[in-house]
Amino acid sequence: MGESLTRILNEHKIVISAGSGGVGKTTVAAALALQGARMGKRVLVMTIDPAKRLANSLGLPELGNRESRVPPEKFREAGIEVTGEMHAMLLDTKRTFDDLVERFAPNEDVKRTIYANRFYKNLSSTMSGSNEFLAIEKLYDVYDKGAYDLIILDTPPTKHAIEFLESPKKMSAFLSEDMMKWFLKPYFAAGKLSLGFMGNMVQRMFRMLEWATGIGFLKDVSEFFISFEHIFEQMYARMNKVEAILHAPETIFVLVTSPRELALEESEFFYKKLAEMRVSFGGFVINRVNPDELAAAAPDLARESLEPDALAARVRERLGAELEGTPLGAGAIDELADTLASGHMIARGDTKAVDAFRDRFPQNVPFYPVPRFERDVYDFEGLLRIDHALFGE
Summarize pLDDT for 19-38 with one digit per residue, the tens: 888 899 989 999 999 999 99
- Quote the pLDDT of residue 32: 97
Same domain, yes or no: 107 and 195: yes
204 belongs to a structural domain: yes
Dist. CA 130–CA 97, nearest whole Å: 9
Same domain, yes or no: 201 and 334: no
CA-based nearest residue to 6, from 29, 37, 35, 42: 35
164 belongs to a structural domain: yes
What domain range includes position 225? 2-290+372-391
- Quote the pLDDT of residue 188: 47
Dist. CA 119–CA 94, nearest whole Å: 13
102-161 tens-digit pLDDT: 888 889 998 998 888 887 877 666 554 556 666 777 888 899 999 999 999 988 765 556
365 belongs to a structural domain: no
Same domain, yes or no: 9 and 86: yes
- The model's confidence at residue 356, banded by pLDDT at 50, 70 and 90, is very high
217-233 mean pLDDT: 73
- Quote the pLDDT of residue 198: 47
pLDDT higher than threshold 60 for residue 215: no
Same domain, yes or no: 40 and 189: yes
Same domain, yes or no: 243 and 302: no
Q: Which of 131-140, 359-368, 375-384 has the highest mean pLDDT?
A: 359-368
30 belongs to a structural domain: yes
Same domain, yes or no: 303 and 328: yes
Same domain, yes or no: 82 and 123: yes
Dist. CA 129–CA 97, nearest whole Å: 13
* DSSP letter for each residue of 90-159: E--HHHHHHHHHHHH-SSHHHHHHHHH-HHHHHHHHH-TTHHHHHHHHHHHHHHHHT--SEEEEE--SHH
* Mean pLDDT for all residues in the chain: 81
Please give the single-letter amino acid code of residue 228: F
CATH number at residue 237: 3.40.50.300
Same domain, yes or no: 176 and 310: no
- Quote the pLDDT of residue 38: 96
- The model's confidence at residue 322, banded by pLDDT at 50, 70 and 90, is confident
- Quote the pLDDT of residue 136: 76
Q: Which of 280-289, 306-315, 342-351 has the highest mean pLDDT?
A: 280-289
pTM of this structure: 0.79
More confident residue, 178 or 350: 350
Q: Which of 181-190, 205-214, 298-307, 343-352 has the highest mean pLDDT?
A: 343-352
39-60 tens-digit pLDDT: 999 999 998 665 566 676 677 7
151 belongs to a structural domain: yes
267-285 mean pLDDT: 94
- Quote the pLDDT of residue 252: 96
314-341 mean pLDDT: 78
Share above pLDDT 90 across residues of the chain, in percent, rounded to a whole number: 36
Same domain, yes or no: 119 and 181: yes
321 belongs to a structural domain: yes
361-389 mean pLDDT: 91
243 belongs to a structural domain: yes
52 belongs to a structural domain: yes
More confident residue, 202 or 57: 57
Dist. CA 388–CA 150, nearest whole Å: 20
Same domain, yes or no: 348 and 283: no
- Quote the pLDDT of residue 160: 59
Counting the structural domains of the chain, the total is 2
Same domain, yes or no: 233 and 276: yes
Same domain, yes or no: 245 and 382: yes
